[in-house]
Structure 1
Amino acid sequence: MIKDISEYIETHWQISPAIQHKIFYSLVAILILLLVRYFALQFVFKRFHDAKHRYLWKNSIKNTYYILLILIILNIWIDRIDSLGTFLGLVSAGLAIALQVPIVNLAGWLFIMIRKPFEVGDRIEIDDNSGDVIDIRFFQFTINEIGNWVDSDQSTGRIIHIPNGKVFSQSQANYNQGFSHVWNEIAVNITFESNWKKAKSILNEIVNKHAEELSFSAKRKLVEASKKFMIFYSNLTPIIYTSVKESGVQLTIRYLSLPKQRRRTEHIIWEEILERFNQEEDISLAYPTQRIYFDGK
């Protein structure tokens, strides 16, 4: 059958035997690599059940497949090392001019893979876009958008594809790398007539109730992060700051939260604040008001 294919190609396409052999070996190499990739993916899907582990292995197999394919095809079609160097030099010069943006994106992919400013699953902010990284490819990475018109870092339902080259020109904020928690603040305003000391005591009780376990976890993560980054905090426990605003006394709760749990913890804390303050006659929430005075006439 192979002989018949070769005869058909030689008769109808008038291709030299050397080129025919290269085409044939190229097709065989592609077929073998596809089979190896298929069985490797089947093994991964059977071996790993966690979605993140599956994705990482699948991505590694895909990248390895393309790299091996390029190397094998080059080896088949380029006969000598010196011609390989000449060929690569010409190709590099042409690509540098015609494909400047894709090359920058490919370099960005290498930077992401080696330096790891972020990984799949991390929550990041780059170029005014925030979201959870869900995919990293040769020329772009993809995030599941958060924020924008949705409050408190919740998902919008959109995915954003960002060129890898952005890592060279835009600063990136990583919510997960190094220190895995973020500081969150809740401002509670009460009237000047309220018993602010009692209110502060109630808030302190509430926030410690919901953040105690979180702060213990943060200490362990901070010790790990300090081995790699210059990150030092003297106090990881919740704290409440007091300040005076135009409408009343502001008590600001500051506590640690996991990035993806910020809205949930804030929701729980606010509900308990409203319930507890409603039971106290000498504590009232403040809000902007206007007073109108008449001269009595």
Structure 2
Amino acid sequence: MTAPVINWIEEHWNIPGSLQEKIFYSLLAIFILSLFRFLANKLIYRTFTDVKVRYMWKSWVKNTIYFLLLIIIMTIWLEGIESLATFLGLVSAGLAIALQSPIVNLAGWLFIIIRKPFEVGDRVQVGNHAGDVIDIRFFQFTINEIGNWVGADQSTGRIIHIPNGQVFNISQANYNQGFSHIWNEITVLVTFESNWKKARKILEEIINRHADQLSETAEQRLLEASKKFMIFYSNLTPFVYIKAEDSGVLLTIRYLTLPKTRRITEHRIWENILEEFAKEEDIDFAYPTQRIYYNPSEGKGGTIKNPLKH
């Protein structure tokens, strides 16, 4: 089957027979492996419904195909161990100079795959960029950006590609790995005249309704994380801290939440706070005001004192 094809190429393209065979078998290898990848992806889509599992299998198939293709092409075009050693020596010397960044990025990919500082689906911050990891490739990984000009931790809609080599140069914060929850704080400022004890009790009731279930889940995750990391918290239950400020009594709610639900939980907690405080006549929020004092001895008008007094 292959002989007529090779003879036809030699007759019409004027290419030496040995080179024809190498070209033919190279193209044949590319075709077969591409067909295998296509069929494997079809099987993956039919077998798995979970998006993350489906992506991981597709990525594994893609990387395996590329690796096999590289080995086959090198086997076809290089003859003998000596030729292979000579070729690798020349290539490595050239690559070390001309392709320094791609090599570092490839090393970064190996580090990400083996060491797993983050995986697809994790929420991370790499340098000034934060987002959800949606793809990891040989030379770069991709995140769906959060934050920036958008409030809290919601998506901006931008896709950011970051070179894999950055994992060696800058720190990476992982919101999901190890201890899967994060601490969040909400500050509520009430006037000195307010019944701050009642306000604190109301806040405790609100936060316990929202965070009790999360605290139980976090305790289980913390136990699992402690097997790998030196993570320890003596208390995972929500708490309300009290502090006197210049303009009132500051009540700080501290509670656990999942990274991807921080904004929505904060939204619901604030809804409850506004509703409950509106029912109380002896609790008032502190906010910037101006007080004007009139001094008759100074004539008409008045003097402004404490213009930013709360």
TM above 0.5:
yes
Query: Do residues 216 (structure 1) and 221 (structure 2) align?
Result: no
User: What letter corresponds to residue 82 of structure 1 in structure 2?
Assistant: E
Q: CA deviation at 1:5?
A: 3.3
Deviates more, 1:160-169 or 1:17-26: 17-26
For residues 93-119 of structure 1, what are the alpha-carbon distances to aligned partners after superposition, in whole Å with 9 as ceiling and x for unaligned? 101111111111111111100000000
Find the aligned partners of 2:82 and 2:188 in 1 and give their Cα distance.
73
Show the counterpart of 1:103: 103
Show the counterpart of 1:184: 184
Query: Do residues 282 (structure 1) and 282 (structure 2) align?
Result: yes
Query: Do residues 201 (structure 1) and 201 (structure 2) align?
Result: yes
Secondary structure of 1:185's counterpart equals strand
Find the aligned partners of 2:83 and 2:4 in 1 and give their Cα distance.
32
Structure showing greater Rg: 2
Secondary structure of 1:165's counterpart equals helix
Find the aligned partners of 1:143 and 1:132 in 2 and give their Cα distance.
5
Show the counterpart of 1:124: 124
Structure 1 residue runs of 5 or longer lacking an equivalent are none
Show the counterpart of 2:302: none
TM-score of the two chains, using structure 2 as the length reference: 0.93
Show the counterpart of 1:264: 264
Show the counterpart of 2:74: 74
Find the aligned partners of 2:98 and 2:53 in 1 and give their Cα distance.
37
Q: CA deviation at 1:82?
A: 1.9
For residues 186-208 of structure 1, what are the alpha-carbon distances to aligned partners after superposition, in whole Å with 9 as ceiling and x for unaligned? 00000000011110011011101
Structure 2 residue runs of 5 or longer lacking an equivalent are 300-310
Find the aligned partners of 2:211 and 2:76 in 1 and give their Cα distance.
62
Find the aligned partners of 1:72 and 1:5 in 2 and give their Cα distance.
20
Show the counterpart of 2:241: 241
Find the aligned partners of 2:72 and 2:6 in 1 and give their Cα distance.
21
Show the counterpart of 1:58: 58
Aligned-residue sequence identity (percent) comes to: 67
User: What letter corresponds to residue 237 of structure 2 in structure 1?
Assistant: T
User: What letter corresponds to residue 206 of structure 2 in structure 1?
Assistant: I
Find the aligned partners of 1:184 and 1:60 in 2 and give their Cα distance.
37
User: What letter corresponds to residue 127 of structure 1 in structure 2?
Assistant: G
Q: CA deviation at 1:233?
A: 0.3
Find the aligned partners of 1:199 and 1:72 in 2 and give their Cα distance.
72
Q: CA deviation at 1:241?
A: 0.8
Find the aligned partners of 1:94 and 1:15 in 2 and give their Cα distance.
29
Q: CA deviation at 1:175?
A: 0.3
Secondary structure of 2:192's counterpart equals coil
Find the aligned partners of 2:206 and 2:15 in 1 and give their Cα distance.
81
- Structure 1 stretches of 4+ with a deviation exceeding 4 A read none
Secondary structure of 2:285's counterpart equals coil
Find the aligned partners of 1:146 and 1:158 in 2 and give their Cα distance.
8
TM-score of the two chains, using structure 1 as the length reference: 0.97
Find the aligned partners of 2:47 and 2:197 in 1 and give their Cα distance.
58
User: What letter corresponds to residue 49 of structure 1 in structure 2?
Assistant: T
Secondary structure of 2:291's counterpart equals coil
Show the counterpart of 1:18: 18
Matches within 5 A, 1:150-189: 150-189=150-189
Show the counterpart of 1:293: 293
For residues 44-84 of structure 1, what are the alpha-carbon distances to aligned partners after superposition, in whole Å with 9 as ceiling and x for unaligned? 11000111111111111111110100011111111111211
Instruction: Number of aligned residue pairs: give it.
Output: 297
